[in-house]
C-alpha cells in the first residue's frame, strides 16, 4: 500500500501523476516560469527543474541542446534554485524538485545546497549520478530540512532495487530503459516487468521516465505505475516555439505549448 508523500502537504494524490521536466533558463529564466505555469494549468503535479550541465550522465540530444541554451544564457545551480521564489510569485504552487548532477553540488557544498533549497522553498532534490550507496549524507540532510531526496532505480540496479525502493522518499523515479533520455516509439515488455517489480517494494508513488513521448505511452504507463515523468518530449515542444519567440510571437508560442501538452497528457 502506498504511503502519501508529504512534499509539505502540496501533493494530494498518489496515482496518475504528471511530472514534467524542464531545463531552468531554457530559453530564458522568464520563459521557464511561463512554461511552468502552463504545465501546472495542464495538470502537472510536480515540476522537475533541471540544472543545465555541460557533461550530463544520461541526457539525450534534446535535453543537451536545452542545457547548452541555458548555460549560454548564464544559468547555474544557484540561479536555478533562485527561480523557485519567482515560480511561486507567478502562481506555481506544485512541488518543485531541483534536478542536478553531483559536480555542481560538490563545488557548492552539501550544507550550502540545502541552505539554498530551504531558503528558496524547493521541496525536493534529485541527483542522478550520485549512487545510492554514497548518498547517506545527502539523504540525512534532506530529512533534517524536510526536503524530499528523490531516488532513481534502473533495470541494471539488480539486487539494489529493493533497498532503493524501500527507502525512497517523495516519489521513486523509475528509469524504464537503459541508455540516454529521448523520445521512443514503444515500451518493451521487459520495461513493464521491471516497473511491476519496483512497485512491489516501493511505499511511495513510482513514476516512470525515459522515453514517455505520446498519449498512448502515458495511458500505458499509468496502467502499470503511479505516474509519468516527461522531459525530452516537453523540451521538443518548447523548441518548436523558439522561432515564434524569436519573431516576437511569444504568446502564440505559449498557447501552442499548452495545446501540445494537453494533447500529450489528455489525448
Task: Look at residues 194, 123, 188, 192 and name the one whose alpha carbon lies nearest to residue 164.
Answer: 194
At 153, list the grid cell: 532505480
From residue 83, give the alpha-carbon distance in Å to each of 24, 40, 184, 211.
Answer: 8, 16, 31, 27
State yes or no: is 239 an active-site residue. no
State yes or no: is 45 an active-site residue. no
Task: Look at residues 174, 127, 134, 131 and name the one whose alpha carbon lies nearest to residue 155.
Answer: 174
Peptide bond into 27 cis (omega under 30): yes
Contact 37, 61 (CB under 8 A): no
Catalytic residue among 26, 45, 48, 123, which? Answer: 48
In degrees, rounded to 5, the angle at the alpha carbon of residue 168 between the alpha carbons of residues 133 and 173 is 95
Catalytic residue among 42, 45, 59, 148, which? Answer: 59
**Which residues participate in catalysis according to the annotation?**
48, 59
Amino acid at each position: 500500500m502506498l504511503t502519501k508523500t508529504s512534499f509539505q502537504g502540496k501533493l494530494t494524490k498518489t496515482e496518475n501523476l504528471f511530472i514534467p521536466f524542464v531545463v531552468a533558463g531554457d530559453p530564458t529564466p522568464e520563459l521557464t516560469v511561463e512554461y511552468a505555469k502552463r504545465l501546472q494549468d495542464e495538470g502537472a503535479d510536480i515540476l522537475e527543474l533541471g540544472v543545465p550541465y555541460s557533461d550530463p550522465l544520461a541526457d539525450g540530444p534534446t535535453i543537451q541542446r536545452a542545457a547548452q541554451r541555458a548555460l549560454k544564457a548564464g544559468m547555474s545551480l544557484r540561479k536555478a534554485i533562485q527561480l523557485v521564489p519567482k515560480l511561486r510569485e507567478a502562481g506555481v504552487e506544485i512541488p518543485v524538485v531541483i534536478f542536478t548532477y553531483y559536480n555542481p553540488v560538490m563545488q557548492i557544498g552539501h550544507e550550502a545546497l540545502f541552505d539554498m533549497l530551504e531558503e528558496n522553498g524547493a521541496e525536493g532534490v534529485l541527483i542522478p549520478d550520485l549512487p545510492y550507496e554514497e548518498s547517506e549524507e545527502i539523504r540525512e540532510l534532506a530529512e533534517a530540512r524536510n526536503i524530499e531526496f528523490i531516488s532513481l532505480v534502473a533495470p541494471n540496479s539488480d539486487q539494489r532495487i529493493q533497498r532503493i525502493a524501500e527507502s525512497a522518499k517523495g516519489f521513486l523515479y523509475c528509469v524504464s530503459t537503459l541508455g540516454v533520455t529521448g523520445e521512443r516509439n514503444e515500451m518493451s515488455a521487459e520495461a513493464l516487468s521491471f516497473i511491476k517489480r519496483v512497485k512491489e517494494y516501493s511505499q511511495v508513488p513510482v513514476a516512470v521516465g525515459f522515453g514517455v513521448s505520446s498519449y498512448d505511452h502515458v495511458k500505458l504507463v499509468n496502467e502499470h505505475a503511479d505516474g509519468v515523468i516527461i522531459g525530452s518530449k516537453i523540451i521538443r515542444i518548447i523548441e518548436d516555439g523558439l522561432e515564434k519567440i524569436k519573431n516576437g510571437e511569444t504568446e502564440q508560442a505559449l498557447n501552442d505549448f499548452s495545446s501540445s501538452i494537453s494533447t500529450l497528457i489528455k489525448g
